[in-house]
Amino acid sequence: MGGIIFENVRIFDGSQMRAGTGAVRVEGNRIAEVSDGAGIAHHDADRVIDGQGGTLMPGLVEAHAHLSWPSSVERFVPGMALPPEDLVLTTARNARILLDHGFTSAYSAGSLSKSVEVVLNTFITSGGMPGPRLVASSIEREPPSVEELDPGRVAEHGSGPDAVRAFVKECAAIGAKSVKFLLSGEDALMPGASQKLMYTQEEADAAGEQARESGVWLACHAQASDAVKMGLRAGFRVLYHCTYADEEALDMLEAKRGEIFIAPAIGIIQATLDAAPPPHFDMSHMKRSAAEVLELQKKLVPELRRRGLRVLPGGDYGFPFNPNGRNARDLELFVKLFGYTPQEALSAATLLGGELMGMGDELGQVKQGFLADLLLVDGDPTADVAILQDRKRLRAIMKDGRFHKDPALAAL
């Protein structure tokens, strides 16, 4: 059985754009050879794809996925509530949409259903339906009400260390790989809530102990500085937002920089500021909160980078004004708001994304022996990262050595 050779391509390898044009050979689900300039020998059974000077790069990683959040670029949902059957199919649809837009991996930041992502992942991994590699999460919140942007209440698991420990153990038994806690509230939903802690340190510590025992990872929504510190003390692996981190929290983050990941979720902030809601829906308090968060994050993220923290794109997509499928916008926002170069933003979404997925030794780079999760892009995203927001510019999407979007069919 032959391999697949991409030739006449510029290669962004996950850390840099390599000089000139080159070629990449895929055999099975792995990258077998990467060549600069000299080309790769063809065999009779090989399929050879002329990249026409486009860019071959690793697939993107969404670090803050909400596959069950209803809205997408294909379907506007005015609120957050869906009947159970609709929620299941919508979650599957959103998985396909992320893959359509070049996200070959996704790290879940919570679901609206206890088991939908876990079950979906069994279908994706068996080839039963399209979707990204998925670190699945269990329920983050109870199902929402009929109110437009009500995201639902925090999952009821009782209070106290024993109850929290039982919740983590149950999530692991279901098959979730990540368990997310809302360690603090959120001003966008209730003014002042970002500074309110939702758990005690003892409860967070119990979650961390059980997660290590059960072999799962912990993620947290942590706006307040004290929430950041709580998560770090308890051994949380992924911290979302960290908006109000003070100097002590920054020092604690830096001390654990080799163990943790941060995703500020800038996409939802910019989308909130850009939103033009209908007259009956008042977003004024959300916009005030978003404006404050934006100014704080514009200072926070460069400081996190200076301290060597791993900061990743991933912007809370799935709300009506921030739909699933628009995820690549985060990379452009990293450039415009946080001072990243396009190449640095790409590296955060690929090389660091592979590390986030727990697969840094085989995912997120165009490198011999790595998994063949690849994008063939019409153009140079290291010059203009915004071109990744145009799915028509993705000539090929390959996951695990198989085409989700075949360049031959894409040209038809």
- Asked if residue 127 is part of any domain, the answer here is yes
232 Cβ neighbours under 8 A, 6+ residues apart: 239, 249, 252, 253, 256, 260
Same domain, 244 and 172: yes
234 within 8 A of 219, measured Cβ to Cβ: no
For 237, the enclosing helix (H) or strand (E) is none
Can you give the pTM of this predicted structure? 0.94
- Asked if residue 351 is part of any domain, the answer here is no
Same domain, 45 and 66: no
- Pick the last residue of a domain from 327, 347, 378: 327
For 226, the enclosing helix (H) or strand (E) is helix 225-234
Q: What is the pLDDT of residue 410?
A: 67
Distance CA(372)–CA(368), nearest Å, equals 10
- Asked if residue 344 is part of any domain, the answer here is no
- Asked if residue 214 is part of any domain, the answer here is yes
**E strands in 66-137:** 103-108, 133-135
φ and ψ of 264, to 5 deg:
-75, -15
Distance CA(380)–CA(16), nearest Å, equals 12
φ and ψ of 371, to 5 deg:
-65, 140
Low-confidence ranges of the chain (pLDDT < 50): 141-146, 148
CATH code: domain of residue 52: 2.30.40.10
> Residue with structure tokens 């404050």?
292
Distance CA(253)–CA(62), nearest Å, equals 22
φ and ψ of 32, to 5 deg:
-95, -25
315 within 8 A of 323, measured Cβ to Cβ: no
Q: What is the pLDDT of residue 6?
A: 97
- Dig out the tokens for 12 from the structure: 């962004």
- Pick the last residue of a domain from 327, 350, 371: 327
- The identity of residue 125, as a single letter, is T
110 within 8 A of 152, measured Cβ to Cβ: no
277 within 8 A of 372, measured Cβ to Cβ: no
> Residue with structure tokens 């990540």?
178
- The identity of residue 275, as a single letter, is A
Core vs surface per residue 212-233: b (16+ CB within 10 A) or e: eebebbbbbbbbbbbbbbbbbe
Q: How far is CA 120 from CA 105, 157, 196, in A?
A: 14, 23, 34
Domain encompassing residue 134: 60-327
Same domain, 153 and 219: yes
- What's CA 228's distance to the chain center, in Å? 20
- Asked if residue 355 is part of any domain, the answer here is no
Same domain, 53 and 128: no
78 Cβ neighbours under 8 A, 6+ residues apart: 148, 320
- Total Cβ atoms within 10 A of residue 259: 11
Reduced to 3 states (helix: H, G, I; strand: E, B; else coil), residue 95 is helix
- The identity of residue 162, as a single letter, is D
Q: What is the pLDDT of residue 140?
A: 63
- Asked if residue 274 is part of any domain, the answer here is yes
Same domain, 151 and 294: yes
What sign has the CA pseudo-torsion 81, 155, 84, 265?
Answer: positive
Same domain, 156 and 288: yes
- Asked if residue 19 is part of any domain, the answer here is yes
- Determine what percent of the chain falls in helix, strand and coil, rounding each to the nearest 5: 35, 20, 40
Same domain, 45 and 120: no
Same domain, 28 and 142: no
DSSP state of 193: G
Q: What is the pLDDT of residue 79?
A: 79
Distance CA(208)–CA(260), nearest Å, equals 14
**Helix runs in 279-397, H state only:** 284-306, 329-338, 342-349, 351-356
Number of domains in the chain: 2
Q: What is the pLDDT of residue 193?
A: 80
